[in-house]
Every structure is written in C-alpha cells, then in structure tokens.
Amino acid sequence: MTARQERLARLLMPWLTLGVLLLAWELACILFDVPEIIAPRPSRVFEVAVQRWDLLLRFCLETLWTTLIGFALAIGFGLLLGLAIGASPFVYAGLYPLLIAFNAIPKVAIVPILMIWVGIGALPAVITAFVISFVPIVVNVATGLATIEPEMRDLLRSLGASNWEILTKVGIPRAMPYLFASLKVAATLAFVGSVLSETVGGNRGIGFLMLSASARNDSATTFAGLFAIAIMGVGVYAVCALIERRMTRWAFRGELVR
Amino acid sequence: MPPAASPLVELKNVSLAYGEGRDATLALGDATMSIAQGEFVAVVGPSGCGKSTLMKLVTGLIAPTSGEVRVRDARVTGPIRGVGMAFQNSTLMPWRTTRDNVMLPLEVVEPHKRRLRTDRAFYFDKAQKLLASVGLGEFGDKYPWQLSGGMQQRANVCRALIHEPQILMLDEPFGALDAFTREELWGILQQLWLERRFTAVLVTHDLREAVFLADTVYVMSRRPGRIVKIRTVDLPRPRRLETTFTPAFVDIVHELRERIQLEHA
C-alpha cells in the first residue's frame, strides 16, 4: 500500500466499521423478527429521521446550545480552578477532597433540586452540562501545573521571576495539552449532562423529544434522537481535537494523537 | 588567575541538610570557597556528593543549614540577581522557538524586561548574534525538539548568557552529549568566556572538562560533600583540543583522579 492509499484506508475505517455494525443490527432485526417497539431497524430509524428532520433539527439545536454554553462555562471555571489548585498547595489541600466528593454524586440526583431552584427550561440543562463536565478539566489542568520540571522552575526563580511570571511563562503553556486532553472528555460529558436534565424533567431539547416519543411507543424517533446526540458529540469532539492540534502542536511531535 | 582582593562569591563553613530531625541527611558539609570576579571555577567529585546542592546554595535557591553564602559582599537570603543557569537537561520550552527560548531571560530580568517591547529589534538582533556565535544562526525559528542534543545545549548556554549575567552556573551542561560534541562545546564555551569574562561555576564529573575550562578546580569528597582539594590550573589560554594531550594537562587530570580515587577506596 502506498502512503496515500494507507491514509485513505485510515479515513474510511470508521465508516466501514459503522456500516458493518448497522448492517449486523439490521440483519439481526429481520432474522429474529424483533418488534419495532423493542429495537427498530436502522433503516427505519433513518427513514423516520428523514421524515421528521425539521423537528429533530429544532430539538437538536436547542440541546446543542445548552450543551455548548454549559461546556464553555466549564472550560472557564475549570481552567481557573485547575490553575488555583495546581499552583497552590493550600488550595489543593482544601478543595481537592471536596471536588472528588462532588464528582461522586450522581448528577441525575441534582436535576430535581435545580428545577426547584431555577424552574424548567434551558437553565437546568446548562447547569447540569456544566457541573458534569468541569471536574475532568480541573483535574487535568492541575496535573499539568503540578508536573512542571523542577529545573524549569529553578531556572526562572534564579532569574528573579515572580510566581505570577512562572505561572504565565511555564505553568499555563505547560498545562495547555492537559487542558485540551480533558476537553475531549468533557465535551462528550457535557452532552450527557444536558440530555440527562432534559430527560429527567424539561420541555425542550433532544432529551425531551426522546422521552415524549418513547411515551408514545415511537421507538424509531427515540433511536433517531440517540443517533443525533452521538453525531453532535462526535462533532464537538472533532472541533476540540482540531483546536488542540493547532494550539499545542509542540506536544504532538510524536504524532501519537490524531 | 589570582583571587582579587574582594571575592565575588564567598562560602563560609556552609553545610546543608535535607529533611529534618532523625531523617536529615547531610548533603554538604562545611564548604568554604572563594570565587573571584571573572574566575572560571569547576567543582568535581563522585556522584551524589552535593555538587548540585552547592550550585543551588550559591544562587540562593536554597538556604544553608549553617554557615553563610555571600555574593558581592552581601549575605544571600533569596534567589540572587544577575545569574545565568544551564542544566544537564536543557529545559528548553518546547512551545517556544529556539530564539524565543533564548530571549526568555529578557522577559524577566530588569532592565531588559522594561525595554524589551520598545527595543524589540535590538534584542532580536542580540539573540540572533549570540545564536550565530555558537553556530545556530539558521536555527532560531526551529523548535528545540527539532534540534539535536548538542544544538539544544548550545541554545541552553545562549539562554544562560543573553542577559549578560555576572555569574554563570553550569550543572553538568554537557553530561548527556557524546564525546565529540562535548569537546566542541568546551571550545565554544571557552571562547564566550574569553570574550565576556563572566564568573563561571561549572559542576561536572568529567575531569578533562574541568581542567580544560577552569582556572581553579575544587574536588569534593563523598557525601556528605566536603572540599578536599583545590587545584589551580595555570595552563595558557586559549586552550585547544591539542592541549588536552600535553603532559602538563594530563598530569593535572591524573592528580585530580588520584584524589577522587581515594574517595572510592
């Protein structure tokens, strides 16, 4: 295989895998005569998605916006908190255990509380997307800061650099690859958060659409919603990965991550 | 070179222990040194003898457990100004180009820090000239990880010198390099020193390197490190690679080797 063919093959691989999986699913449904209400055939899901694309798109966009706002808040807050935790042993000692405890709480449990506080609508979904996705960002950014080579710190200290200068000249650039690595995890988590909130109680978004479709035993639409979330998740992930490659090219000199 | 009347760096009965109480290990015991302005000093000794500790003490990165470190006749209590440092690990920042790495001290050290924005062209030129003087003139825009190990160490030395420090601290800067590259860099470092006459402290375990570069070689004992021998090297400068094969040079290396051998006995 030439290099060009190899690249082409690598690009085609995920589509091929997807195609094979869907085909197996389709055949299994026909072979075992699975009722549509239990598991609709992928072709049915596709058919419904095409029929109701305007409806799906509207609900998808609602979810996408709430997710992105929650995700953006998580990036800002996670970055600041991560820097504080990584830079100061006191902040670390004080906040880290609480952060772990908070992360252990199933977020589905806080949605009803949020609804009491802020009502239904977009806001609880934004908040849920935020709280579910900021922890990995904090942990990663703090790790990036904490693992600065001691020699690099010594070098700057011997030049008379202030702690602030050490943070801006070494700490933050050093933490960037860690930040972007966490964004790829956090982006997909943010979708989990917003859809969770929409499903537990809401009147908008793809989660709400799926819930009401399944209440009508319309499982094809429910599955179409699932696929839509997956596609949006991959899309946001791809954007994060692209920005990562542009911003921290130096960290990928081994070309390990694509 | 005979020590001047008032030395630039002075260590008086300095010792340093890491840890506290029963766990404390003495890294450096009762070191007394005196380094003149413009002198090139090398510190050699068995590994783990506290050579690097000595360097951190002189720059004020750590405080001595007992004794006193004085620089320019003032007691050192925190990181001192006007120092350049280079380590074995080049610690160049992978997210900066080689030239931006070399220019890093200018962003931190006064008065350059204040002038950097307005005199950008001047400093850019200065960095370019320094890089060219070590044979890296065309590599300023490359990233450190695109350079070979020897080139990285040259850039590392440039970064330690760009702000024209009075004191240059070198902690086994060529330790990770192959013999040919190392010898080539001795020549480059000597040339820079002859031109600028900064005070240099070189920590190394390569005796030939110490004798080639230094005016005075301090030999340290095993941990806890003590200074057990001071040897003046009065070979004429500039020393060349051929110098290292002359009897005078070889004799000094042998003399130092024998003293260190005692430590391993």
| Shared-domain flag, residues B171 and B118 | no
Nearest-CB residue to A159 (from B91, B93, B109): B109
Residue A42 confidence (pLDDT): 92
Nearest-CB residue to A152 (from B59, B81, B91): B91
Residue B87 lies in a domain: no
Supply A31's token pair: 């072979």
| Shared-domain flag, residues B260 and B207 | yes
Confirm if A82 and A140 have CB atoms less than 8 A apart: yes
| Shared-domain flag, residues B133 and B151 | yes
| Shared-domain flag, residues B174 and B158 | no
Contacts of B59 in chain A (CB under 8 A): 158
Q: What number of other Cβ atoms are within 10 A of residue B205's Cβ?
A: 16
**A149–B91 CB contact, under 8 Å:** yes
Work out the minimum CA distance from A248 to partner chain B, whole angstroms.
Answer: 7
Residue A147 lies in a domain: yes
Residue A220 lies in a domain: yes
Question: Count of domains in chain A?
Answer: 2
Work out the minimum CA distance from B261 to partner chain A, whole angstroms.
Answer: 30
Residue at a domain's end among B110, B144, B165: B165
Q: What is the CATH number of the domain that holds B194?
A: 3.40.50.300
Task: Tell me how many residue pairs between chain A and chain B have CB atoms under 8 A apart.
Answer: 54
Nearest CA in chain A to B92: A152
| Shared-domain flag, residues B159 and B173 | no
| Shared-domain flag, residues B33 and B129 | no
| Shared-domain flag, residues B234 and B211 | yes
Supply B20's token pair: 């506290």
Residue B221 confidence (pLDDT): 83
Question: Count of domains in chain B?
Answer: 2
| Shared-domain flag, residues A24 and A118 | no
| Owner of token pair 């690679």 | B241
| Shared-domain flag, residues B61 and B12 | yes
Neighbour order of strands in the sheet with B25-35: B25-35, B9-18, B66-71, B74-75
Supply B187's token pair: 């020549």
pLDDT higher than threshold 60 for residue A28: yes
Residue A40 lies in a domain: no
d(CA A179, CA A136): 9
| Shared-domain flag, residues A17 and A98 | no
List per-residue pLDDT tens for chain B, 265 residues long. Answer: 444 457 888 888 888 888 777 777 888 888 888 899 999 999 988 777 777 888 888 888 888 888 888 888 888 888 887 788 888 887 899 989 999 999 998 888 877 778 878 888 888 888 898 898 888 888 989 998 888 888 898 898 889 888 888 889 998 888 878 888 888 889 888 998 998 899 999 999 889 999 999 999 999 888 777 888 899 998 888 899 888 899 999 999 999 998 888 877 6
**A253–B145 CB contact, under 8 Å:** yes
d(CA B151, CA B144): 8
Contacts of A87 by beta carbon, 8 Å cutoff, 6+ apart: A145, A163, A167, A171
Contacts of A151 in chain B (CB under 8 A): 87, 89, 91
Identify the domain containing residue B100 by its residue range: 92-165
**B91–A151 CB contact, under 8 Å:** yes
| Shared-domain flag, residues B75 and B172 | yes
| Shared-domain flag, residues B128 and B185 | no
Residue A81 lies in a domain: yes
Identify the domain containing residue A161 by its residue range: 48-252
| Shared-domain flag, residues B76 and B187 | yes
Residue at a domain's end among B136, B165, B194: B165
Work out the minimum CA distance from B84 to partner chain A, whole angstroms.
Answer: 7
Instruction: Give the SS3 label for residue B10.
Output: strand
DSSP per-residue letters across B208-259: HHHHHH-SEEEEE-SSSB-EEEEEE----SS--GGGGGSHHHHHHHHHHHHH
| Shared-domain flag, residues B175 and B153 | no
**B56–A154 CB contact, under 8 Å:** yes
Stretch A4-31: mean pLDDT, rounded?
A: 92
Work out the minimum CA distance from A167 to partner chain B, whole angstroms.
Answer: 13
pLDDT higher than threshold 50 for residue A105: yes
Residue at a domain's end among B107, B131, B165: B165
**B91–A155 CB contact, under 8 Å:** yes
| Shared-domain flag, residues A77 and A131 | yes
